[in-house]
Amino acid sequence: MSEVERIAALERQVANLTLMVEVSKTLNSTLDLDSLLQIIIKSATELTNTEMASILLVDRASGELRFEAATGAEREALKTLVVPRDNSIAGWVVRENKPLLIRDVQHDPRFYRQVDSATGLATRSILGVPLRFKGQVIGVLEALNKIEGNDFTDEDVQVLTTLAGQAAVAIENARLLAELREQDRLKSQFITDASHEMRTPLTTIKGYLQLILDGAMDAEQQRTSLEIAARNIDVITRLVNDILYLQEMATIRAERVPVEMAGLVREVVAAAQGQARLAGVILRAEIPSGDLPPVSGSRKRLARALANLVENAIKFNTDGGEVVVRLREEASSLRVEVSDTGIGIPAEYLDKIFNRFYRIDSSAPHLARGVGLGLPIAKQIVEEHGGEMHVKSEPGKGSVFSFTLPKT
C-alpha cells in the first residue's frame, strides 16, 4: 500500500468512526422501532458505501425470518415476505451466527430471488452480518451492492458488525418498550371492561332496592326483588373472584408436582353433579382402566380449568342433555375432552370465545350468563402447563372442548 493509499484508508476510518459515534447517539435516543430501523439501514449504506441495506428479524413466536426494513421499500410489502431459513443468505447468517460476504449474488444458490422482485432492485453483491443480543441472533443486517462496482472489504465487514452490535441493543430496547406499552394498554382495557361488567349488576341491584325502599311493593314482590338482587351480587362476586384469580396467575407461577389426572377428573365431575342435576343434565366420566402417566403442574389450577369447561357444558346444555368427560392417553400427552349435547357454538365465534369478557349474546339464556372469563382462564392454565386447548362445535348439536397436557 502506498503512502497516499494509507492516508486515504486512515481518513476513511476516521470518517467512519465519526459517523459511528453519531449513529450510536441517534440509536440510543430513538425508541420507536420503525424510525430506528430506518436509521440503521441509512447508516449501514453510508458506512459501507453501498446502494442499499435491509434488516431481517427473527419472529420470536414463530421463529420465521422476516424483512422489517429495506432501502426504498415499503415496509408493508416486505412484511409479507417470509425468508426461508434453509435457502437464503440471511438464513445462513442466522444459522451460522457469522458474517457472510458474497461478491456475485446471482450465481450463489443461497440467494433468495423473491426479494429482488419485491423491491424491484437487482442485487449484485451482499454483505450480511448477524444482529446479536445477549449471544442470541435476533436478525440480520445486510448491505447490498457496493457503489462504483468496488468489492466489499474486510473493513466493511468490521464496520457493519460494529453497527449491528449497537443496532441489536437498540432494537431490543425499542421492542421491550413497545411490549410494555402494549401490556399497559391491555391492563387499562381490562380495567375498563371489568368496570363495565360490574356496572350492569350494580345498577340492577340499586334499582330493585330502591323499589323496596319506595314502599310500593307487597311482601311477595319484595322477596322476588331481593332474590334478583342476590343473584346479581353472585355475578359480581364471581367477577371479582375471577379477576383475583387472573391476578394470582399473573404473579404466581404454577407449581410443578406430579398430578394424577384420573383422580382429578373424577373429583371435578363429582363436584359438578349438583349443578348437573339442577339443570337436568346427565354428567359422567369415561376414564380408561389401568395406570396413566402423571402430568406435571398445579393440581388446583388444572382442576379449575376442567371445572370451567364442565360448568359451561352443563350451563349451555338443554334439559335432558348429556355431558361426558373423557380422559385419553396419546403419544406424548394426555387429552381431556368435555363433550356436551348443548346449544353449540356458531363457527364465527369459535376463536372469539377465548377472549376475556366475550360471551355470545344470542346463545346465553339469561340465567346462564356468566362473566366471560371462564374460557380465557381455562386456556391460560392449559397453556402455562405446556398444553393446547381446542374446540369443535356444531350449533344445535353440541360442543367438544378438549385440552392436552404433556406426559412426564
**Interacting residues toward ligand ADP by CB under 6 A:** 308, 312-313, 316, 340, 342-345, 353, 358-360, 363-364, 370-376, 399
Minimum CB separation of residue 191 from ligand ADP in Å reads: 18
Cell numbers 330502591 label which residue? 210
- 168 phi, psi to nearest 5 deg: -60, -45
Exposed/middle/buried for residue 143 (C-beta within 10 Å: 0-12, 13-18, 19+):
buried
Minimum CB separation of residue 241 from ligand ADP in Å reads: 12
As given in the structure block, the three cell numbers for residue 81 are 415476505
Nearest to 47 by CA among 39, 56, 35: 39
Please say which residue, 166 or 312, places its beta carbon nearer to ligand ADP. 312
Minimum CB separation of residue 368 from ligand ADP in Å reads: 7
Please say which residue, 12 or 392, places its beta carbon nearer to ligand ADP. 392
Please say which residue, 334 or 353, places its beta carbon nearer to ligand ADP. 353
CA distance 118 to 127: 19
- Contacts of residue 36, Cβ cutoff 8 Å, sequence gap at least 6: 27, 30, 167, 170, 171, 174
Nearest residue to ligand ADP, using CB?
A: 370
The answer to whether 336 touches 261, Cβ cutoff 8 Å, is yes
Please say which residue, 22 or 286, places its beta carbon nearer to ligand ADP. 286
The answer to whether 322 touches 281, Cβ cutoff 8 Å, is yes
CA distance 327 to 42: 58
Give the pairing of strands 295-297 and 333-340. Answer: unpaired
Please say which residue, 91 or 342, places its beta carbon nearer to ligand ADP. 342
Minimum CB separation of residue 280 from ligand ADP in Å reads: 16
Minimum CB separation of residue 125 from ligand ADP in Å reads: 56
Please say which residue, 111 or 358, places its beta carbon nearer to ligand ADP. 358
Minimum CB separation of residue 375 from ligand ADP in Å reads: 3
Please say which residue, 20 or 303, places its beta carbon nearer to ligand ADP. 303
The answer to whether 100 touches 89, Cβ cutoff 8 Å, is yes
CA distance 381 to 249: 8
CA distance 139 to 40: 13
Minimum CB separation of residue 317 from ligand ADP in Å reads: 8
CA distance 77 to 349: 30
